[in-house]
Structure 1
Amino acid sequence: MFHLASFDEITGVAYGIEVTNPTMVARIRRAADSLNAYEIAARLAQAITEAADAAHIRDFEEAQFGEASADAVVDCEYHDELAAAWSLVAAEHQLIIPEIIIAHDGSVH
């Protein structure tokens, strides 16, 4: 389920969210305007955790029933987009920088 990805792949997802869901990105940018760096990082961490939880539920349903329910699929897609949007905003606020990730073997988990 989990795999290592290069920073370029991760940033591609984050910046692609501006194209696929610009309304979500605009909403998160507005929310981030009133947050400090620690609060943005906390929101990003929460979004990543929720995306992982949604992926686990989807995978569980696929393993148990042969396919995931529509709710599990939609939840997984939504939380993936939310994590990507918060990643983009965190990068814009310089909370995510490639040099830090590359220093830890060039991959993210």
Structure 2
Amino acid sequence: MFHLASFDEIAGVAHGIEVTNPNMVARIRRAADSLNRYEIATRLGQAITEAADAAHLRDFEEAEFGEASADAIVDCEYQDELAAAWSLVAAEHQLISPETIIAHDGSVH
């Protein structure tokens, strides 16, 4: 399971998503332009929940069958990237701060 230990690592993940998937980040930024801060926060929460669900499914398949299916692996990776992109946009809109993340032990799921 994916755990972040500090805000610096989160900044690295967010920056990394800009490098590894710039089209996704651009798409999320365009979508966020028409949203207010509460809607952006809602989208971030949904993305984190979906990433956690995908990670749990992947972990279940690995435990149950010895390996996860290709679909579970791809879905988990996509949902992690989506959550990272929404986290980046939320940070750009000053919706998350280091204090918020550290208060929740720094874990995404």
Question: When the two structures are superposed, what TM-score results if normalisation uses the length of structure 2?
Answer: 0.91
Contact 2:37–2:93 (CA under 8 A) maintained in structure 1: yes
Gaps of 5+ in 1: none
In structure 2, give the amino acid aligned to 1:108. G
**2:53 matched to which residue of 1?**
53
* RMSD (CA atoms): 1.5
Gaps of 5+ in 2: none
Q: CA deviation at 1:2?
A: 6.0
**2:11 matched to which residue of 1?**
11
Alpha-carbon distance in 1 for matches of 2:2, 2:13: 16
1:44-68 alpha-carbon deviations (Å, 9 max, x no partner): 0000000000000000000000000
**2:106 matched to which residue of 1?**
108
Alpha-carbon distance in 2 for matches of 1:101, 1:3: 12
Alpha-carbon distance in 1 for matches of 2:76, 2:50: 9
Count of residue correspondences: 107
Alpha-carbon distance in 1 for matches of 2:77, 2:12: 16
Alpha-carbon distance in 2 for matches of 1:3, 1:89: 20
In structure 1, give the amino acid aligned to 2:60. F
Alpha-carbon distance in 1 for matches of 2:56, 2:91: 26
Alpha-carbon distance in 2 for matches of 1:61, 1:98: 33
* Identity percentage of aligned residues: 84
SS in 2 for 1:95: coil
Alpha-carbon distance in 1 for matches of 2:3, 2:97: 20
1:72 and 2:72 matched: yes
Runs of 4 or more consecutive aligned structure 1 residues displaced over 4 Å after TM superposition = none
Q: CA deviation at 1:99?
A: 3.6
1:83-103 alpha-carbon deviations (Å, 9 max, x no partner): 00000000000001124444x
Contact 2:62–2:68 (CA under 8 A) maintained in structure 1: yes
**1:97 matched to which residue of 2?**
97
Contact 2:4–2:10 (CA under 8 A) maintained in structure 1: no
